Amino acid sequence: MNKKENEDSLKNEYPEIQENSMEPPPQPKSRLEDYLKPNGTGKDKPMDNEDKNND
């Protein structure tokens, strides 16, 4: 009960939290994490692919 009341209060103050709390942003965060990861997929980083070929 207490938790639900808190959530309702947050939704009223910050409507944006409603979306983020239920559905985390898959696209922006995912791409950012992949980009920051040293061993990322290298999809958006062609240089990564070149390094793999040279290896």
* Domain map (residue ranges) of the chain: 2-54
DSSP label at residue 42:
-
Mapped onto helix, strand or coil, the DSSP state of residue 3 is helix
The pTM of the full predicted model, rounded to 2 decimals, is: 0.16
Phi, psi of 41, rounded to the nearest 5 degrees: -65, -30
**Predicted pLDDT at 24:** 56
The pLDDT tens digits of the residues spanning 1-53 come to 567 776 666 556 655 555 545 555 555 556 666 666 666 555 555 555 555 55
Name the token pair of 8.
């309702």
- pLDDT score of 27: 55
What is the structure's pLDDT at 28?
56
pLDDT score for 34: 65
